[in-house]
Amino acid sequence: MNYCSQCGSALIHSIPEGDNRHRHSCPACGTIHYENPKLVVGCIPEWEDKILLCKRAIEPRHGFWTLPAGFMENGESTWEGAVRETLEEAGARVEILHLYSLINLPDINQVYLMFRARLLDLNFVAGEESLEVKLFNETEIPWNDLAFSTIRASLNRYFEDRRRGEYPLHTEDIHRKLPA
């Protein structure tokens, strides 16, 4: 961050008065440009004993499998974002059941919120960001070809919970650099 997005002046990087962190701020117009973590919202789409995964058509982790998820957009709720991402990436319609995992990734300033969801029909189709979309039961999951540690963590927990028939919220911190 080099220039003020409000007035175009060169920014300084210092601790503003009354603050305790370095921020980018504008000496000309006074705007402080805060930077905050981003929310990634997605879901585990269920169909009978299977779940729906997407093979990534984009970097990072092109060719690896993931749950439908992506950056939450302004103007939507977390669960609306999860529904939207599932439609965009997997061409799949889901009904959100409940929040299932909260994963903090402080090293890359992201927070994942993954929901359990019910797949409403089998008319899914790979979106622009996916090479392939497919249902997997537990033994078929491509464990060695999963895209992110957040996805592996969510799926491990999910199948354990399914054996017990209970799906409590899981909260987890993952400290690791990319790929998360």
Residue 164: CB minimum distance to its own copies, A: 17
Beta bridge partners of 112: 40, 103
SS3 letters across 115-146: EEEEECCCCCCCCCCEEEEEEECHHHCCHHHE
Residue type at 38? K
Distances (CA, A) of 63 to 52, 91, 115, 133: 16, 18, 23, 12
Q: How far is CA 142 from the centre of its chain?
A: 19
What tokens appear for 65 in the block? Answer: 């499998």
Is 161 an interacting residue with respect to its own copies (CB under 8 A)? no
Distances (CA, A) of 12 to 1, 7, 37, 66: 10, 14, 21, 39
Tell me the per-residue interface mask from 63 to 102 with its own copies, x by CB under 8 A, - otherwise: --------xxxxxxxxxx-----------------xx--x
Is 5 an interacting residue with respect to its own copies (CB under 8 A)? yes
Residue 51: CB minimum distance to its own copies, A: 21
Is 132 an interacting residue with respect to its own copies (CB under 8 A)? no
> Which is closer to its own copies, CB of 78 or CB of 149?
78
> Which is closer to its own copies, CB of 6 or CB of 137?
6
What tokens appear for 97 in the block? Answer: 């059941």
Residue 74: CB minimum distance to its own copies, A: 4
> Which is closer to its own copies, CB of 62 or CB of 98?
98
Is 37 an interacting residue with respect to its own copies (CB under 8 A)? yes
Binding residues for its own copies (CB under 8 A): 1-8, 10-11, 18, 21, 24, 33-39, 71-80, 98-99, 102, 104, 106-107, 109, 111, 113, 128, 169, 171, 173
